[in-house]
């Protein structure tokens, strides 16, 4: 690991000031950043510890929640209101990592965790456009079973690994930001970028911009929600495919739906094409399956991951069927 | 910081992990380094009673905190009940993963006692967690055992905590 300085931010303004130094990086729980630094994937000159910033989980007047960026993943998943009103979020967080990692990881760090593409981590042995722009991508013709089927580009086919973000995408979450030029908000679905020609630019954040909170609007009244993760072993593995969904059924007809996929794309994938096919349609397995198909019609499989298309269709169908059963 | 109840002061390079501080600087070699990447759980310790991975923790971030390692689990009247249960139920072979499993299970019991659900908890809103085998397996999935002693490990944890979780931490 390269030497670096360490500073603890007292509040958001202090963090942004410290974070404006050259090659500074914000430090949450360190569960991703420390690993990346140890493997020389990144080498910040200064770490600005932002775990002392707000970790409060507050009720909003509209019935939503405001979650401080420094809230630990466990704290969010165990919160009464999250468990009762956002089961998709509690379940998604609990599906990620291990309990030890969830006790350390912060909400902002989870959102900004980097891909788990093995070539990205293999600094000495592999080419990677995301790590070294223009170098090439060893995944495209390599071992790409875990890689993207939607939203990839000839430059990069990595997936975004977060479970929590898939639920946040389906919950219409909004991210609160603060930078040198002031504060702003961005829907979570617009925070991460698809790789295109520039996989090294992963988000819409400006240099030194800080995540201060995540806001959850209330889910549609009467809707059920859930999260399912499919992986190679029962626990402690990244998703091959995951599905977060919100569904309301009235007299057999779908009157509200939000759907997001994980493990299949370089960003948390909001499945708007499928949502359009579902809204107003009868809540039955044939509808669910057909809607999943329309979303995955755009899929471009790589040599080793074509199975993800069928897996995603089946998982979407199963999750929606479960929720339709609950919502009745 | 405090380590196992004793005040310790150390000047560390910011690069030093909590794991290396414990093992190299403080000579507490009970906590093990398996992967150094967050994947095995061998380095699990408790920070203010919460289980964390000391290999991914920068020591500087834990200034002022109360750290408990496997060396700190035993009480004045001998080993922690969980340690006894690991012996009774053959919860280890080589023992390399054991310190991590012990600290992790103590932290797990405290989480269960305050009602933290897991991915396999059917009713997320339930107040009480019933620590059956499936719950224990899921909650302990961050600790790997290369010797395959998992059955004994789960049995030891079940014997200690399945009745009423987390009285002793
Ligand atoms: C073995 C292992 C298994 C895992 N399995 C899963 C899994 O199955 N599912 C899953 O979703 N995740 C998994 N994870 C990833 C884990 O969830 C992330 O490492 C964690 O959420 C990152 O949070 P952190 O607070 O530790 O972030 P850090 O490592 O501290 O930071 C991550 C990034 O966020 C930036 N950052 C942190 N806070 C802010 C802020 N406030 N504003 C702006 N930038 C900020 C940092 O600069 C850094 O770039 C796993 C990790 C490991 C090690
Ligand atoms: S898929 Fe993306 S992250 Fe992986 S090697 Fe290719 S460019 Fe790098
Ligand atoms: S040594 Fe820390 S998780 Fe393996
Ligand atoms: S007893 Fe050998 S690794 Fe678990």
What is the CB < 6 Å shell around ligand 1?
A 25-33, 50, 69, 96-97, 101, 104-106, 108-110, 112-113, 161-164, 210-211, 238; B 38-39
Q: Which uninterrupted H or E stretch holds A35?
A: helix A33-38
CATH number of the domain at B22, please: 3.10.20.30
Domain final residue, candidates B72, B104, B131:
B72
Residues B97 and B138 in one domain: yes
**What is residue A93's predicted lDDT score, i.e. its pLDDT?**
98
Evaluate whether residue B167 is within a structural domain: no
Interchain CB distance below 8 Å, A235 and B50: no
Residues B68 and B110 in one domain: no
Instruction: Please name the residues in contact with A125: beta carbons below 8 A apart, sequence gap of 6 or more.
Output: none
**What is residue A235's predicted lDDT score, i.e. its pLDDT?**
73
The interface predicted TM-score (ipTM) is 0.96
- Is the separation of the CB atoms in B35 and B146 below 8 Å? no
Percent of chain B with pLDDT over 90: 93
pLDDT tens column, A200-252: 999 999 999 999 999 999 999 999 999 999 998 877 789 999 999 999 999 99
Cβ of A90 under 8 Å from any chain B Cβ?
yes
For the residues B84-104, what does the mean pLDDT come to?
97
**What is residue A326's predicted lDDT score, i.e. its pLDDT?**
82
Q: How far does residue A76's CA lie from ligand 1's centre (Å)?
A: 15
Domains detected in chain A: 5-51 (3.30.43.10), 224-327 (3.30.390.50)
| Beta-carbon count within 10 A of B23 CB | 19
Sign of the Cα torsion B44, A77, A97, A9 reads negative
pLDDT tens column, B27-78: 999 999 999 999 999 999 999 999 999 999 999 999 999 999 999 999 988 9
Alpha helices in B27-169 (DSSP H): 81-88, 98-113, 133-139, 150-161
Evaluate whether residue B92 is within a structural domain: yes
Task: Look up the pTM and report it.
Answer: 0.97
Q: How far does residue A74's CA lie from ligand 1's centre (Å)?
A: 13
Residues B61 and B85 in one domain: no
Alpha helices in B39-91 (DSSP H): 81-88
Q: How far does residue B13's CA lie from ligand 3's centre (Å)?
A: 20
Residues B68 and B105 in one domain: no
| B42 Cβ inside 6 Å of ligand 4 | no
What range defines the domain where residue B64 resides?
2-72
Q: How far does residue A123's CA lie from ligand 2's centre (Å)?
A: 12
What is the CB < 6 Å shell around ligand 2?
A 115, 117, 119-120, 128-130, 137-139, 156-158, 199
Distance between CA atoms of residues A243 and A317, nearest Å: 10
Residues B128 and B103 in one domain: yes
CATH number of the domain at B93, please: 1.10.150.120
Structure tokens at A25: 């990086």
Distance between CA atoms of residues A120 and B44, nearest Å: 27
For the residues A129-139, what does the mean pLDDT come to?
98
- Is the separation of the CB atoms in B80 and A49 below 8 Å? no
| B29 Cβ inside 6 Å of ligand 4 | no
Q: Is A225 helix (H, G, I), strand (E, B) or coil?
A: strand
Evaluate whether residue B37 is within a structural domain: yes
**What is residue A328's predicted lDDT score, i.e. its pLDDT?**
54
Residues B15 and B87 in one domain: no
Residues B53 and B9 in one domain: yes
Residues B101 and B138 in one domain: yes
Interchain CB distance below 8 Å, B117 and A83: yes
Residues B88 and B56 in one domain: no
Task: Enumerate chain B positions whose Cβ falls within 8 A of a Cβ in A.
Answer: 13-15, 17, 36-38, 41, 44, 50-53, 56-58, 60-61, 104, 107-108, 111, 114-119, 121, 124-125, 137-139, 141-143
Tell whether the model's pLDDT for residue B164 goes beyond 60.
no
Domain final residue, candidates B27, B44, B72:
B72
Residue entry with tokens 């999943």: A292
Distance from CA of B60 to the nearest CA of A (A): 8
Domain final residue, candidates B41, B72, B103:
B72
**What is residue B163's predicted lDDT score, i.e. its pLDDT?**
63
- The whole-chain average pLDDT of chain B stands at 94
Evaluate whether residue B27 is within a structural domain: yes
Q: Which atom of ligand 1 is nearest to the CA of A229?
A: 8
Residues B68 and B86 in one domain: no
Give the ligand whose atoms come closest to the C-alpha of residue B98.
4
Residues B48 and B97 in one domain: no
Distance between CA atoms of residues A120 and A37, nearest Å: 13
Evaluate whether residue B65 is within a structural domain: yes
Select the residue of A34, A49, A51 nearest B56 (Cβ to Cβ): A34
Torsion-angle region of B90 (φ positive above 0: left; ψ -120 to 50: alpha; else: beta): left
Torsion-angle region of B116 (φ positive above 0: left; ψ -120 to 50: alpha; else: beta): beta
Interchain CB distance below 8 Å, A101 and B142: yes
Which among A98, A312, A81 is positioned nearest to A219, based on CA atoms?
Answer: A81
pLDDT tens column, A74-132: 999 999 999 999 999 999 999 999 999 999 999 999 999 999 999 999 999 999 999 99
Distance between CA atoms of residues A67 and A72, nearest Å: 10
Q: Give chain B positions within 8 Å (CB) of A35.
A: 37-38, 56
- The whole-chain average pLDDT of chain A stands at 97
**What is residue B44's predicted lDDT score, i.e. its pLDDT?**
98
Q: What is the DSSP letter of A328?
A: -
For chain B, what is the domain count?
A: 2
What band does B162 get if pLDDT is binned at 50, 70 and 90?
A: confident
Distance between CA atoms of residues A191 and A324, nearest Å: 30
| B110 Cβ inside 6 Å of ligand 3 | no
Residues B88 and B127 in one domain: yes
Evaluate whether residue B42 is within a structural domain: yes
For the residues A152-165, what does the mean pLDDT come to?
98
Best mutation target, B56, B65, B102, B105, to test chain A (most A CBs within 10 A)? B56
- Is the separation of the CB atoms in B32 and B19 below 8 Å? no
Distance from CA of A197 to the nearest CA of B (A): 30
Interchain CB distance below 8 Å, A101 and B53: yes
Evaluate whether residue B26 is within a structural domain: yes
Q: Which atom of ligand 3 is nearest to the CA of B32?
A: 1
């Amino acid at each position: 690991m390269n030497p670096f300085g360490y500073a603890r931010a007292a509040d958001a303004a202090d963090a942004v000031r410290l974070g404006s130094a050259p090659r500074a990086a914000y430090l949450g729980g360190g569960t991703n950043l420390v690993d990346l630094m140890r493997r020389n994937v990144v080498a910040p000159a200064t770490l600005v510890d932002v775990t002392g910033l707000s970790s409060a989980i507050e009720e909003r007047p509209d019935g939503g929640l405001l979650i401080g960026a420094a809230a630990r993943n466990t704290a969010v998943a165990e919160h009464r209101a999250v468990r009762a009103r956002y089961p998709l979020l509690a379940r998604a967080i609990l599906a990620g990592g291990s309990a030890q990692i969830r006790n350390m990881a912060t909400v902002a760090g989870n959102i900004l965790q980097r891909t788990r593409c093995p070539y990205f981590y293999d600094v000495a042995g592999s080419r990677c456009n995301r790590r070294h722009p223009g170098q090439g991508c060893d995944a495209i013709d390599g071992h790409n079973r875990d890689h993207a089927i939607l939203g990839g580009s000839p430059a990069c086919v990595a997936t975004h690994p977060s479970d929590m973000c898939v639920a946040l995408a389906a919950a219409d979450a909004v991210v609160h930001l603060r930078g040198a030029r002031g504060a702003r908000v961005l829907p979570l679905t617009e925070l991460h970028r698809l790789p295109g020609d520039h996989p090294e630019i992963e988000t819409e954040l400006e240099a030194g911009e800080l995540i201060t909170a995540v806001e959850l609007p209330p889910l549609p009244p009467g809707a059920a929600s859930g999260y399912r993760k499919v992986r190679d072993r029962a626990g402690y593995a990244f998703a091959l495919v995951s599905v977060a969904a919100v569904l309301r059924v009235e007299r057999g007809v779908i009157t509200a739906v939000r759907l997001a996929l994980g493990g299949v794309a370089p960003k948390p994938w909001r499945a708007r094409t499928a949502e359009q096919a579902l809204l107003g349609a009868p809540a039955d397995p044939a509808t669910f399956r057909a809607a999943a198909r329309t979303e995955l019609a755009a899929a471009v499989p790589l040599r080793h991951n074509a199975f993800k298309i069928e897996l995603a269709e089946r998982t979407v169908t199963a999750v929606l069927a479960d929720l339709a059963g609950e919502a009745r | 910081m405090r380590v196992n109840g004793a005040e310790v002061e150390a000047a560390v390079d910011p690069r030093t992990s909590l794991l290396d501080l414990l093992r190299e600087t403080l000579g507490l070699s009970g906590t093990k380094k398996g992967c150094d990447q967050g994947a095995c759980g061998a380095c699990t310790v408790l920070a203010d009673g919460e289980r964390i991975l000391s290999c991914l923790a920068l020591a500087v971030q834990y200034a002022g905190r109360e750290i408990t390692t496997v060396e700190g689990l035993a009480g004045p009247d001998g080993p922690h009940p969980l340690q006894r249960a690991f012996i009774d139920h053959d919860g280890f072979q080589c023992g390399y993963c054991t310190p991590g499993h012990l600290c992790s299970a103590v932290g797990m019991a405290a989480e269960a006692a305050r009602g933290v659900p897991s991915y396999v908890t059917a009713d997320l809103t339930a107040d009480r967690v019933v620590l059956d085998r499936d719950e224990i397996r899921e909650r302990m999935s961050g600790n790997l055992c290369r010797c395959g002693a998992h059955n004994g490990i789960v049995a030891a944890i079940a014997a200690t905590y399945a009745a009423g979780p987390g009285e002793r931490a």
